[in-house]
Amino acid sequence: MEVQIFVHGRQNHLGAISDPAVPLYSMQLATIPFRIIDKVEKVCRGFLWRDEDEKRKLMIGWEEIMRSKNEGGLGLKNLRTINQAFLTIVGCGMLTDNQSLWAQVMKAKYIKGSDLFQSQVAKPLDSPFWKAICKIWTDILFGMRWIMGDGKTVSLWVDDWVPHSRPLLSYATDPESIVDIRAKFQNYTTASGDWDATKLELILPYEISARVQSLLPPNTLASPDSVA
């Protein structure tokens, strides 16, 4: 019972020092090398399992320890997971925030006019933050899609902009009839600004064409296309 009390107390201390506050702030700015995380976890393991005689004993696998209490673990945080989660959140914020100065600077410096939904490759002299973001770019984009605005950035066929759908090119009944897969929306709207149902239904199944026509077409007076 006495050992259990000591272990419980050490568990509380570990939970306090691994709380996402000042020690983990750097995890929002760069990928922490695994060797550093391994050293931190080694110190935590030694602190948790030592007894009164300062002898260390392995009671249970560390992966089990980091499980939530509902899953039978002690609820200690997985530093690798926290690092990636922080960077993913910050990366999503960078893409979706058009007001903050830091987001504007990052996009102007590193993304510029490139396709957001294509892989981003960091250069050797890029900042540690951008290098970390590039490593998890796929995770950042998971679940995100284009929000239609003026239609000047989004590609009708290859970008993901229709809710609950894949890119429209994957639905095309006759892909070879699409002259330019990077075509913008103006090629498929009428002079009055409505969707050109005839053109869409020649290439897309009726259900998908109807899903497209249920959305507002791009408007040159609207705000620029964005991601969300």
Domain boundaries, the chain: 2-81, 83-141, 146-227
Nearest to 160 by CA among 115, 190, 201: 115
| Structure tokens that stand for 40 in this block | 């931190």
| Structure tokens that stand for 194 in this block | 């409505």
Quick one: pLDDT at residue 151?
87
pLDDT tens by residue, 38-76: 888 887 777 776 644 444 455 567 777 778 778 877 777
Element (H, E) at 44: helix 34-49
Query: Residue 167 in contact with residue 157, Cβ under 8 Å?
Result: yes
pLDDT tens by residue, 180-203: 777 778 788 998 989 999 999 999
Query: Residue 201 in contact with residue 127, Cβ under 8 Å?
Result: no
- Report the C-alpha gap between 220 and 29 in whole angstroms: 37
pLDDT tens by residue, 142-175: 878 888 888 888 888 988 899 888 899 999 998 8
Element (H, E) at 214: none
pLDDT tens by residue, 121-149: 899 999 999 999 999 998 998 878 888 88
Quick one: pLDDT at residue 87?
94
Quick one: pLDDT at residue 112?
77
| Structure tokens that stand for 53 in this block | 């005689």
- Report the C-alpha gap between 114 and 111 in whole angstroms: 6
- Looking at the chain, the number of H-run helices and the number of E-run strands are 9, 2
Nearest to 40 by CA among 60, 59, 66: 66
Task: State the virtual CA torsion across 169, 170, 175, 179 in degrees, nearest 10.
Answer: 10
C-alpha triplet 177, 183, 189: angle, nearest 5°: 90
**In this model, does residue 8 exceed pLDDT 70?**
no
- Report the C-alpha gap between 151 and 168 in whole angstroms: 15
